[in-house]
Structure 1
Amino acid sequence: MKKAVIFLCLLAGTLAAQEARVTPLLSKDLPDLPGKEGRMIIVNYPPGGSTAVHRHNADVFVYVMEGSVVMQVKGGKQMTLTAGQSFYEAPGDIHLVSKNASTTAPAKFVVFFVTDKGAPISTPVK
């Protein structure tokens, strides 16, 4: 029983460590685009970190700051981006793959959204 509890604690710690950490940076109404706003966030992926399939319903611009990330939208090719490279998602895109390319090093990227004012940043897709 004791071994099972230890195993479950280790498993829970491993799963929690794989979650992305999102830090909001800025949210600003866009006066030239009524009803729209610009948002900026930083995403930190721990080693092996990823997010589930989702969509943003926004124009999304990604710039990799550290490490490398794997990105793919439905109908597009999977690509690995390294520091200094960028990625774009259109409002209708379904983001199939978003993960840290490394299982040993963290990854960090900044994301800029142009979206409807007050819309959620991300919506899960089944």
Structure 2
Amino acid sequence: MGTAIVSLLMILIAMGDSPATAHEREQVQVLFQHPLPNVEGKKIVAVSVTYPPGGKSLAHRHAASAFIYAYVLSGTIRSQVDDNPAKVYHAGEGFYEIPGSHHRVSENASDKESASLLAVFIVNAEDHPLTIPDDAPAPQ
């Protein structure tokens, strides 16, 4: 197990992330995906995003066709989409992103408590990846 941890740390460092930075990033888990039977060529994908205290996502865009509804499950999430002002959302609140949005800030608003949200994508069935960090090359 120790060898596996060292290998993971070496990969993260090679990718430009320090172990501390990797620990502060979000964890994303696909919970559900299914073709929309009444909308040809579209699918619905639900993901959970969990932020450790002080954790954040890199600035990013989503697949070009993606309409997203995000619902805060726990904690507080600070979000800034496009040039709108950043806003803090509490558990039970939600926001959406229209196709082509630039998600400039997505982070845990607390440095003491974890936070999580449910993001539901309506997206073209062939679109992937769903999230593209600003420093990543655009999908072909």
Q: What TM-score do the two structures reach when normalised by structure 2? A: 0.78
Q: How many residues align?
A: 116
Alignment of 1:26-45 (within 5 A): 26-45=32-51
Which sections of structure 2, spanning at least 5 residues, go unmatched? Answer: 1-16, 136-140
CA distance in 2, matches of 1:45, 1:59: 22
- Tell me what 1:88 maps to: 96
CA distance in 2, matches of 1:51, 1:116: 23
**Structure 1 runs of 4+ with >3 Å offset:** none
One-letter amino acid matched to 1:65: L
CA distance in 2, matches of 1:18, 1:104: 12
Cα drift, residue 75 of structure 1: 2.0
2:130 to 98, 121, 125: 121
Which sections of structure 1, spanning at least 5 residues, go unmatched? Answer: 1-10
CA distance in 2, matches of 1:42, 1:93: 19
Cα drift, residue 104 of structure 1: 1.1
2:81 to 33, 58, 73: 73
Q: What TM-score do the two structures reach when normalised by structure 1? A: 0.86
CA RMSD of aligned residues (A): 1.4
CA distance in 2, matches of 1:76, 1:117: 29
